[in-house]
Structures are given as structure tokens and as C-alpha cells.
């Protein structure tokens, strides 16, 4: 059945700034999608990522180029071969899921056969900064159950030590965003182990991570930039202990669910993650939470203001409940 597509670039200011090894930003640039069919509206959102060669403008153009095909009856299944994995396909895929559920008078979770947990603990991200600044930020949220610490620059040992001292009872994961060098890896991993870090995310650059197969993993290591979708997933076994599934990488919920199943078959643990974006991006991703050992869906918490009818967070957890924003 045909549908009418509209899409737009939107800006959401970040509360302060968000800094990782590759740079800082003060706003989240997202592309939102609406699919309308017989009075029903399905919505989706994506966050184009420069690291993967995406811009908001090229992503919007890729989405709008499919308007004639969508008007001619393109389905979610057709979409999987019409666009490669990435941000553009994610926004459309999630909008199709939302539209299908609304037309069926049910929720996306029910449509996908997924039981949502009543409470989902999520990491809260501490941006890269000086040891003192990161310690101050961690101390303010030391009551939360899980913090994600952005590293990937000279002085990481001092940063991590300062954060651990400021939040002695909080679970920690570390994200180096490809910023470590292989020569320092084992020392940094041992420091992480000493600081009771549960997981180290993407320590080495994607494409230069073969060394991970030959060193001791004193802390489990998770692939992020090294894994996008189903293609190439098998090559990660032996190098990584876990993968970070992000819908903006897989190209939507459809392939994300397939990636989760394949990762489980390969013995890889799962983290479900996000870009800095609104609840419209988090709601589809939370459908993977029951399969994830670590959940990092704090995007809206980093914004100055979320969309109306967004997710409810309390005490470091996403609260259960239907949403008028996406998915039912």
C-alpha cells in the first residue's frame, strides 16, 4: 500500500557539550521521518554520523529519493535492499515499524514478539575532559547504577582513576572511541581491571584491531566502530567479547534484531547503544534491551530538552510504559 513520506532535519541543543576522542558538539542534528497511510502516521529518527561519511543533508536526500517508491507501495522488507545499513535506512525502517503497528492496532513490541522489561537500567555518559572535570561530573551522578566514561586521549589513566575515586560504588564501562594505541593497550586494560571497569568499548581503530585476537582480555572488549550490520560480524569473534548494536549503524530495527540473533549464536555479548538523539531514536532501540548485557540509551538525558511524550527516566533506568511518540 502507498504511503506519503515527509522528512526534515531537526536540531536539539545539548545540555552543555558532548566530547569524545574525535571532538565536541553542542547540538544533536537528527533527521526525522513521517510515513502517512490512511490516517495512520509512523515516525522514525536517525542521527547521521560524520565518522561513517554521513551528513544530515546527504541522509535527508537519500530518504527523500525514496518518496516515489514509497508512494508506489514500497514495504519495510523492500527497504532492506533499497538502502544500505546506515542512518537513512534506520529512520525509514523505524517509521515503517511504527506505521505497521498503528495499522494493526497493536504495539511494535507485540508485532515483533518482544516482551519489554518493566525497568531498563541504562548507562549515563561522562564526556571526555580533564581528570578533575570528569571526576566532578561523575560525583554528581554517582548515585546512578552505571556510568559510561569517554576516554581515548593522553592522560586516560588519570581520568579513569579520578572518576573511580569520585564514584566508588558505581558500575563503569569505558569507551575509547578508537583512541588507544596497540602498544599501550595491555597496560590500559590492566588499569581498567584495577578500577573495576566492566567493559572497554572500541579501544583500537576499526580496521586496525587484529591485535585484539592475540592479547589477554583482562576486561571484556566491545566492538562499536568495528561492527555495523550483519556483514562482517563473524570476523569479530576472537577479537571481541561483545558488540554494540546501534540502529543508526544497522540501518534500523529489522537488521538490528537479526544482528542480535547472530551475535548470540557467535557467543558475543550485546550492548545496545545510541547516538546523542531524542526519545524517538531510543524507543525502537529499547526493544533490544532484554537481550543486552549493557544498555546505553541515555541520549535524551544529554539534551537540553527531549521531544514531547518521550521516555521517562528515573534513578538511572528507563521506566516501562506505552508511548504516544513511537511504537505504542
Catalytic residues, which ones? 150, 246
Let me know: does 116 contact 286? Beta carbons within 8 Å. yes
Q: Residue holding cell 502516521?
A: 41
Q: What are phi and psi of 168, to 5 degrees?
A: -65, -25
Nearest to 120 by CA among 145, 138, 149: 145
Residues in the chain: 328
For the record, the C-alpha cell of 248 comes out as 543508526
The span from the first CA to the last CA of the chain, in angstroms, equals: 21
Distance CA 242, CA 235 (A): 13
Distance CA 7, CA 74 (A): 16
For the chain, the helix, strand and coil percentages under 3-state DSSP, each to the nearest 5 = 40, 25, 40
- Name the burial class of residue 181, with classes exposed (0-12), middle (13-18) and buried (19+) by CB atoms within 10 angstroms of its CB: exposed
Residue 59: half-sphere exposure toward Cβ, Cα within 13 Å: 30
Q: What are phi and psi of 258, to 5 degrees?
A: -70, -40
For the record, the C-alpha cell of 321 comes out as 510504559
Three-state secondary structure string covering 279-296: HHHHHHHHHHHHHCCEEC
175 in a labelled binding site: yes
306 in a labelled binding site: no
DSSP 130-142: -HHHHHHHHHHTT
136 in a labelled binding site: no
Residues at the binding site for Mg(2+) are 175, 201, 224
Residues at the binding site are 175, 201, 224
Amino acid at each position: 500500500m502507498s504511503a506519503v513520506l515527509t522528512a526534515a532535519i531537526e536540531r536539539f541543543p545539548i545540555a552543555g557539550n558532548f566530547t569524545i576522542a574525535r571532538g565536541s558538539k553542542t547540538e544533536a542534528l537528527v533527521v526525522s521521518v513521517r510515513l502517512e497511510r490512511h490516517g495512520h502516521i509512523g515516525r522514525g529518527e536517525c542521527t547521521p554520523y560524520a565518522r561513517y561519511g554521513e551528513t544530515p543533508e546527504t541522509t535527508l536526500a537519500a530518504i527523500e529519493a525514496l518518496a516515489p517508491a514509497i508512494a508506489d507501495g514500497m514495504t519495510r522488507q523492500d527497504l532492506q535492499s533499497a538502502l544500505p545499513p546506515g542512518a537513512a535506512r534506520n529512520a525509514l525502517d523505524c517509521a515503517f515499524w511504527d506505521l505497521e503497528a498503528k495499522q494493526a492496532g497493536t504495539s511494535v513490541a507485540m508485532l515483533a514478539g518482544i516482551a519489554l522489561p518493566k525497568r531498563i537500567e541504562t548507562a549515563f555518559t561522562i564526556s571526555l575532559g580533564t581528570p578533575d572535570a570528569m571526576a566532578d561530573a561523575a560525583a554528581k551522578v554517582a548515585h546512578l547504577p552505571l556510568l559510561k566514561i569517554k576516554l581515548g586521549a593522553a592522560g586516560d589513566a588519570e581520568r579513569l582513576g579520578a572518576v573511580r575515586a569520585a564514584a566508588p560504588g558505581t558500575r563503569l564501562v569505558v569507551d575509547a572511541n578508537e583512541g588507544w594505541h596497540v602498544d599501550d593497550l595491555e597496560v590500559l586494560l590492566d588499569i581498567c581491571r584495577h578500577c573495576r571497569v566492566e567493559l572497554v568499548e572500541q579501544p583500537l581503530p576499526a580496521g586496525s584491531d587484529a591485535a585484539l585476537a592475540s592479547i589477554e582480555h583482562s576486561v571484556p572488549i566491545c566492538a562499536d566502530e568495528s561492527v555495523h550490520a550483519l556483514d562482517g560480524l563473524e570476523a569479530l569473534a576472537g577479537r571481541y567479547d561483545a558488540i554494540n548494536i546501534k540502529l543508526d549503524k544497522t540501518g534500523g530495527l529489522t537488521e538490528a534484531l537479526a544482528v542480535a540473533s547472530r551475535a548470540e549464536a557467535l557467543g558475543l555479548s550485546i550492548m545496545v547503544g545510541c547516538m546523542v538523539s531524542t526519545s524517538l531514536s531510543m524507543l525502537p532501540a529499547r526493544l533490544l534491551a532484554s537481550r543486552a548485557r549493557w544498555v546505553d540509551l541515555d541520549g535524551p538525558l544529554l539534551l537540553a530538552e527531549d521531544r514531547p511524550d518521550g521516555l521517562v527516566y528515573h534513578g538511572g533506568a528507563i521506566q516501562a510504559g506505552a508511548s504516544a511518540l513511537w511504537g505504542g
